[in-house]
Structure 1
Amino acid sequence: MGLVVRDNFAAGWRVYPRNISRAFNYLTPSGRVMVTGRVVEVTPNVTGQIVAIPVKPNVPVKRGDVLFQIDPAPIQCKITQLQASLATAKQQTKILKANYEQATANVTGLTAQVAYNAKRLADTNACVRRCELAIPGAGQAGPV
């Protein structure tokens, strides 16, 4: 009975021969095989140079075990840049809030100024009417 012995990564199963000497005999690929475990594809959330692989080959790993250590320098550089951008954005927010408060104060002051000037105009118009009534012929138009 012929059986090809190989690592089948596409299906996710590793197949190891019980008799290693037969595994290296490429002319007669036959013998008993044993499925030893499921292979899981691992992909990190970040890219970078791998600086260490603390796990040993063919040793079972548990959840939480570190499989690879990626060089932290490029990631740390990006984190530093993002922190600087965040600090700049926070400072801009403070400046914009101060500008808004200043503009609101200006609007309040200008609204009070408009009300004062409207009152003053009304008082002036009332004074003009009183003067016209007090002076005979002051409200009439003269000859053209």
Structure 2
Amino acid sequence: MMTPEQKFARWVRVSIASFLLMFVYFIVADIWIPLTPDATVMRVVTPVSSRVAGYVAQVHVHNNSPVKKGDLLFELDPTPFINKVEAAQIALQQARLTNQQLDAKIAAAQASLKTATLTAQNDKVTYNRYQRLSAMQNVSQQDLDKVRTAWQSSEQSVNALRANISELMIERGEKDDSRNVTLQKYRNALTQAELDLAWTKVRAEADGMVSNLQLSPGWNAAAGSAALALVSEQTDIIADFREKSLRHTHPGSDAAVVFDALPGQVFHAHVTSRDAGVLAGQEAVNGELSAPESSNRWVRDAQRMRIHVALDEPLDQRLPTGARATVQLYNSEGPFARFFSGLQIHLVSLLHYVY
């Protein structure tokens, strides 16, 4: 028969042994069969906005509508954009007419240049003849000066016409309409107006589900301002582990996942990738000196790193983005590790019935 002191001493020894056993277990388990409740189901969420501003004319979807890539989501009132297209078409046609008028002016100026050139040549011949006559004292100096002035005026007219033709040709630009700068400017304006008109119909850029719809006919949609969110069908499970827990983890490592929404069920999975870093490892370049982190603790909190996990088989039901999960890693292939890791994750799956 043990005395009370002996019973107490026995319980103390059992407690110390249990504590040491659990302490060793958690250290080994955190390396070879780590588990984390910090896991989340993530889907790519794309904010959808119109590329042009305008009033909403029609909304073709509602919250939780499944859509495919290219499906029409909503439309803006196209009237002002149609007017802009018509104005751009008129401006382009007017530019073509202006070029035709310039072609006519150039042709008229070239005809005038030919006439002025002939006149200048005749005036020069006359001046040369008068020079010879003046040398023989057959014409007066006054007549010679008049002929010289007429010839010089003719030459100035020719130069002025050539300058005018050059100016008109510069204004006209390339004869080839496809290379004409003026026409290209108006064609670009027309293309942009047609593009803006096409953008009044906002379509899905990928398959997904509509969420957080904030649209109704008559609502003024600002360009670039999100009006709804498109949640992708592709699922990504992210899990955050302590750094030392990932020493033996690599892409392809086996894993198991338990979702809070599906208690009692364990799903087989595998590690697909590991993030290159976390925000704490990114230093902003702001022109200031670095500020080393200081701590008065001997052992600081462990840093957590993120890995990505994919299920081996798809789920029967779609979980929303943000759904929480627990991830168990199998860093060891040994039967001991397999047994206890399976025990851990199944225990967690049962606990989800409670919390």
What TM bracket, shorter-length normalisation? 0.5 to 0.7
User: 1:113 deviation in Å?
Assistant: 1.1
Equivalent residue for 1:42? 48
User: 1:39 deviation in Å?
Assistant: 2.1
The two structures have a TM-score, normalised by structure 1, of 0.57
Equivalent in 38, 61, 72 of residue 66 of structure 1? 72
Report the secondary structure of 1:111's partner residue. Answer: helix
Equivalent in 91, 95, 99 of residue 89 of structure 1? 95
The two structures have a TM-score, normalised by structure 2, of 0.25
Equivalent in 120, 126, 147 of residue 120 of structure 1? 126
Higher strand share: 2
Amino acid at match of 2:111: A
Q: Which has the higher contact order (CA 8 A, sep 6+)?
A: 2
Closer/same/farther in 2, CA of residues 37 and 58 from structure 1, 3 Å limit: farther
In the alignment, the residues of structure 2 paired with residue 120 and residue 108 of structure 1 have an alpha-carbon distance, to the nearest angstrom, of 18
After superposition, the CA RMSD in angstroms is 2.3
Equivalent in 73, 79, 82 of residue 85 of structure 2? 79
User: 1:73 deviation in Å?
Assistant: 0.8
In the alignment, is residue 98 of structure 1 matched against residue 98 of structure 2?
A: no
Alignment gaps of 5+ in structure 2:
1-39, 139-355
Report the secondary structure of 1:45's partner residue. Answer: coil
Report the secondary structure of 2:46's partner residue. Answer: coil
User: 1:46 deviation in Å?
Assistant: 1.9
Equivalent in 43, 47, 52 of residue 58 of structure 2? 52
Deviations 1:23-64 (A, max 9, x none): xxxxxxxxxxx8473321122222211111222421232221
What is the percentage of aligned positions where both structures have the same residue?
A: 26
- Map residues 105-144 of structure 1 onto 2, 5 A cutoff: 105-129=111-135
User: 1:123 deviation in Å?
Assistant: 2.4
Amino acid at match of 1:73: T
Report the secondary structure of 1:40's partner residue. Answer: strand
Amino acid at match of 1:46: V
Report the secondary structure of 1:49's partner residue. Answer: strand
User: 1:128 deviation in Å?
Assistant: 4.6
User: 1:130 deviation in Å?
Assistant: 5.3
- Map residues 19-34 of structure 1 onto 2, 5 A cutoff: none
Amino acid at match of 2:51: N
- Total equivalences in the alignment: 99
